[in-house]
Amino acid sequence: MSTRGHAFGIDIGGSGVKGAEVDLATGLLTHERIKIPTPRPSTPDAVAAAVAELVAQTGWEGPVGITMPCVVLDGHARTAANIDQAWIGTDARALFAKALGGREVTVLNDADAAGLAEDSYGTARDLHGLTLLLTFGTGIGSALLYNGVLVPNSELGHLKIEGVDAEDLAAASVKDNEGLTYPEWAQRVSRVLRHIEDLFWPKVIVAGGGISRDHEQWIPLLTNRTPVIPAVLKNTAGIVGAAMAIDAGLAP
């Protein structure tokens, strides 16, 4: 990543398409992020048009980094979570490049982007070894970084724990849907973290997602061995990570 300059990031989610210019020296947005609703249905052509609309509103004319709730390999979406299933198999990079007039585009997984941002500008900054970011939301997203280098598309939320996907056991949505208290939910999160840390032995785990705002109510209750710290970039992490990816030329 460069130590100066600006780049543009877009974070595509199930409810909104969000974007902004990012100052790469600080990881801060240069202006209030722009958000437009994710189209219904969220088909490839409809979302590409929304991305083009957002970029046009800002007047940005350079390359664009884009995150998606998908596994992304060689610019192609291989899965689709909270977005239309028509994305599976789509050459997302080519689609967005065409919608943006042929400019350079990088596409990556949304949790990977958040991990990049937190590792460079957040609570995991300057830490060495293996860092794991987990985003607790509708599911559990994950990003693995070793000394700042991303290992893309880890998808640890789908690890099987006693025959159940980790995210079906301990996503933030499960807490809400089952009416779990924070102590009850923290026990489930601890089971997931113990399973993951036995496989990967991270040096630190960064907890993200909206529920990280309430970290005082559940992180102290965790019983796994690896230190868990809350993410700090919150709803800008995906945008910042996308901007970092286009600046670094990352193309999972």
**Local mean pLDDT, 10-residue blocks, the chain (252 residues):** 74 94 95 95 98 96 96 97 95 98 96 94 84 94 93 96 96 97 98 97 94 96 97 92 86 57
Q: Just give the CATH number of 6-112+236-248.
A: 3.30.420.40
pLDDT at 14: 87
What are the domain boundaries of the chain?
Answer: 6-112+236-248, 126-232
pTM: 0.92
CATH architecture of residue range(s) 126-232: 2-Layer Sandwich (3.30)
- Give the contacts of 85 (CB within 8 A, at least 6 positions apart): none
The rounded Cα 61 to chain-centroid distance in angstroms is 24
Query: Are the folds of 6-112+236-248 and 126-232 the same?
Result: yes
Q: What is the DSSP string of 60-127?
A: --S-EEEEESS-EETTEE---SSS-GGGTT-BHHHHHHHHTTT--EEEEEHHHHHHHHHHHHSTTTT-
Q: Which residue do the tokens 């070894």 mark?
A: 129
> Could you tell me the two tokens for 110?
């949304």
Query: What are the backbone dihedrals phi and psi of residue 229, each rounded to the nearest 5 degrees, phi first?
Result: -125, 150
Which residue type, as a one-letter code, is found at position 62?
G
